[in-house]
Amino acid sequence: MTRRDYGQYCGLARALELVGERWTLLIMRELLARPSRYTDLLDDLPGIPTNVLSTRLKELEEAGIVERRIAPAPQRGILYAPTEAGQNLQGAVIALALWGNAHLGEQEPNEFVPPSSVVMALRATFNPGAAHGLTATWEIHTGDAVMYAAVADGQLATGVGPAPGEPDLVITVPSDEVLTYRAMMQAISNGAAELTGQQSLLEKFARVFTPRAATKAG
């Protein structure tokens, strides 16, 4: 058994060997929310040392969980994005996040809400039934973050950043800081959001993204 391995032929042990080190799953959360450059990740994960980030990215790439892409014309540079194996991690990321939500407590003054965590919450609460037959694109502004969600053919596409196409409805939730998914949804249902576009799509939004109960033990 080397330092990094557990010597167990077990899915959990292997998962932890691959993505169990400090910062790794937070990096994956960022990349699942949007392909990012090295400096994007440094900005979105304040406190991560540069050498740790570069080591993690290297290891994830070697393991086939993340791939490097050449960023398209306007930006240039390298984009890191999850491979299919990396995308399959989302279920585990969401399961951990749901469990951790119950242990969040009050927000400390030095704690910020990562926009990627709001995107994960949108994916976790997506209700395919309510999205059936609906085609719509929402863009959400809260704090200085921009996120989008698009529904078509009962499928959800969501991420950090402006909507890929023209949004049908822009929802602006006024706030100094990025709000949690929960606070954001509450503000929206309280009518605190400013709307630009097809206002009728606001009700659909609340219906498409509905929290359900977390998984209990078996």
Partner DNA sequence: CTGCATCCACTTTGATACTG
Partner DNA sequence: CAGTATCAAAGTGGATGCAG
Contact residues for a copy of itself (CB under 8 A)? 1, 6-16, 18, 20, 22, 25-26, 29, 32, 46-47, 63, 84-85, 87-104, 107-108, 110-114, 117, 120, 123, 126, 156, 180, 214-218
If the CB atoms of residues 49 and 77 are measured against a copy of itself, the closer one turns out to be: 49
What CA–CA distance (Å, rounded) separates 168 from 25?
33
Contact flag: residue 51 with DNA (CB under 7 A)? yes
What residue type is assigned to position 211 of the chain? Answer: P
Which partner in DNA, a copy of itself, none is near 37 (CB below 5 to 8 A by kind)? DNA
14: contact with DNA by CB under 7 A: no
Under DSSP, the state recorded for 163 is: -
**Among 14, 16, 38, 161, which residue interacts with DNA (rule: CB under 7 A)?**
38
The site partner of 210 among a copy of itself, DNA, none (C-beta below 5 to 8 Å per kind) is none
The count of C-alpha atoms lying within 13 angstroms of the C-alpha of 4, restricted to the half-sphere facing its C-beta, is: 9
Nearer to DNA, 56 or 204 (CB): 56
Residue 129: CB atoms within 10 Å: 9
Q: Cβ(32)–Cβ(19) under 8 Å?
A: no
Whose tokens are 């694109």? That residue is 137
Residue 55 interacting partner from DNA, a copy of itself, none (CB closer than 5 to 8 Å by kind): DNA
**Binding range to DNA, per CB under 7 A, among 55-63, 124-132, 148-156, 167-175:** 55-63
Distance, CA of 114 to CA of 181 (rounded, Å):
10
48 contributes a contact to DNA by CB under 7 A = yes
To the nearest 10 degrees (0 to 180), the angle between helices 115-125 and 90-101 is 100
When CB distances are held under 5 to 8 angstroms depending on the partner's kind, the choice from a copy of itself, DNA, none that residue 212 binds is: none
Residue written as tokens 């080397």?
2
- CB atoms closer than 10 angstroms to residue 111: 11
Tell me which of 64, 77, 162, 165 binds DNA, using CB under 7 A. Answer: 77
Smallest gap, in angstroms, from Cβ of residue 41 to DNA? 8
Q: What are phi and psi of 8, to 5 degrees?
A: -120, 140
Nearest to 147 by CA among 177, 168, 175, 170: 170
Binding site for DNA (CB under 7 A): 1, 3-4, 21-23, 37-40, 47-52, 54-55, 57-58, 68, 71, 77-79
